């Protein structure tokens, strides 16, 4: 790199650092965040699980609440279930016990199952010792009218100040987006499935 180029790069980095430093200085509020991971691309659940791992690693009490149980046994569920091998003792998990909702086609049964999981999870939203709750695939519960969005919004608003919550799933409703502090949309640019590559253990589940 020429001296002139290096100098220009250096000045640009200095300006960038100044902007970042100012932003860091302005971010002084200490509170939990509500994160929504939505969109049609691959990476929503795995992103939430990554954050869960991060929080668990710090020894925080966490919860994983899964609204749609897959047809396959997920690797992450198997991992967490076996406490002897995972060594994870600071996580509680609740899973809806029906299969994929769009397979069962039994509205009342699925609604009941969704409500049961929600009722189990509700005390966590009142527990200041619970640092992170992941509600995986929860957006569909609103789409199919299994859960009342107003009730969930109200519980989220009244949760302990330092509690973090993540909701994943496609098509997040506006109410969740409005309330969230961080919203990420995963956009599909390519997916192996569309090139005929079979779903595989360890990647898809
Ligand atoms: P992941 O669990 O891999 O992070 P996700 O939570 O973003 O995926 P979901 O909509 O919950 O995605 O779908 C779960 C399954 O569908 C995964 O096996 C994923 O690989 C697959 N999938 C996600 N997006 C696409 C897509 N655009 N086309 C085809 N399959 C997809
Ligand atoms: Mg998912």
What does the pLDDT look like over 17-36, one tens digit per residue?
A: 888 888 888 888 999 999 99
SS (H, E, C) the chain: CCHHHHHHHHHHHHHHHHHHHHHHHHCCCCCCCEEEEECCCCCHHHHHHHHHHHHHHCCCEEEEEECCCCCCCCHHHHHHHCHHHHCCCCEEEEECCCCCHHHHCCHHHHHHHHHHHHHHHHHHHHCCCEEEEEEECCHHHHHCCCCCHHHHHHHHHCCCCCCEEEEECCCCCHHHHHHCCEEEECCCCCCHHHHCCCCCCCCCC
Query: 142 with 111: CB under 8 angstroms?
Result: no
22 lies in some domain: yes
Residue located nearest, by CA, to atom 27 of ligand 1: 41
Lowest mean pLDDT among 43-57, 99-113, 188-202: 99-113
- Whether residue 1 has pLDDT greater than 90: no
Q: Say what the pLDDT of residue 73 is.
A: 76
Average pLDDT, the chain: 91
CATH number of the domain bearing residue 166? 3.40.50.300
Domain that holds residue 188: 31-195
Q: How far apart are CA 49 and CA 53, in angstroms?
A: 6
In a domain, 78, yes or no: yes
For residue 204, give the ligand nearest its CA.
1
The yes-or-no answer on residue 187 being catalytic is no
**Residue 107's pLDDT band (boundaries 50, 70, 90)?**
confident
134, 49 contact by CB (below 8 A) = yes
Of 175, 174, 145, the closest CA to residue 157 belongs to 175
> Residue 72 pLDDT more than 70?
no
Q: Is ligand 1 within 6 A of the CB of residue 111?
A: no
46 lines ligand 1 (CB under 6 A): yes
143-156: average pLDDT: 96
* Residue 104 pLDDT greater than 80, yes or no: no
Q: 153: pLDDT confidence band, cut at 50, 70 and 90?
A: very high
Residues 3, 67: one domain? no
As for how many domains the chain has, the answer is 2
Q: Is the CB of 170 under 6 A from ligand 1?
A: yes
Atom of ligand 1 minimally distant from the CA of 168: 6
Query: What is the mean pLDDT of the segment spanning 122-143?
Result: 97
What pLDDT is attached to residue 174? 98
Distance from Cα 37 to the centre of ligand 2, integer Å: 9
- To test the pocket of ligand 1, the residue of 37, 39, 41, 42 to mutate (highest count of ligand atoms within 8 Å of its CB) is 42
């Amino acid at each position: 790199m020429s001296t002139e180029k290096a100098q220009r790069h250096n000045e640009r980095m200095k300006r960038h650092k100044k902007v970042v430093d100012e932003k860091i200085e302005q971010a002084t509020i200490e509170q939990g965040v509500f994160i929504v991971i939505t969109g049609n691309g691959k990476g929503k659940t795995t992103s939430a699980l990554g954050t869960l791992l991060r929080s668990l690693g710090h020894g925080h009490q966490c919860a994983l609440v899964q609204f749609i149980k897959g047809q396959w046994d997920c690797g992450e569920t198997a991992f967490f279930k076996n406490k002897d091998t995972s060594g994870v003792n600071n996580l509680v998990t609740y899973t809806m016990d029906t299969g994929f909702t769009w397979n069962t086609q039994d509205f009342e049964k699925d609604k009941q199952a969704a409500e049961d999981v929600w009722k189990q999870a509700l005390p966590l939203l009142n527990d200041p010792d619970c640092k992170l709750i992941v509600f995986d695939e929860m957006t569909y519960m609103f789409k199919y009218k299994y859960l009342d969005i107003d009730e969930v919004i109200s519980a989220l608003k009244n949760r302990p100040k330092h509690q973090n919550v993540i909701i994943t799933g496609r098509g997040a409703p506006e109410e969740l987006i409005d309330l969230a502090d961080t919203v990420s949309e995963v956009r599909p640019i390519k997916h192996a499935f569309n090139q005929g590559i079979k779903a595989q253990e360890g990647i898809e589940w």
